[in-house]
Amino acid sequence: MNKSAKTVRVATVQDSSVIMEKKACIEKVNELTKKAANNGAKIVFFPEAFIPAYPRGLSFGA
């Protein structure tokens, strides 16, 4: 093993956003990020478009 290699703990969030409530969604991101950091994560990944939480699956008439 390379002596200069470092280990970084990461977290992947598998949760739903707060739909159409950006402020509440940002608060949830803060809570989930703090939880992951308390478990040693240095990097936290969230699903695409977690904020602003567009309703995935809706076509908006397209």
pLDDT digits (tens, 9 = 90+) for 7-61: 999 999 999 988 888 899 999 999 999 999 999 999 999 988 888 656 656 666 6
* 58 lies in some domain: no
Q: What pairs with residue 11 in β-bridges?
A: 44
Alpha helical stretches, state H, the chain? 22-38
* 50 lies in some domain: no
* 57 lies in some domain: no
Please tell me whether residue 44 adopts helix, strand or coil conformation.
strand
* 33 lies in some domain: yes
The count of structural domains within the chain is 1
Residue found under tokens 């992947």:
12
User: Which has the closest alpha carbon to 55: 22, 28, 25, 19?
Assistant: 19
* 1 lies in some domain: no
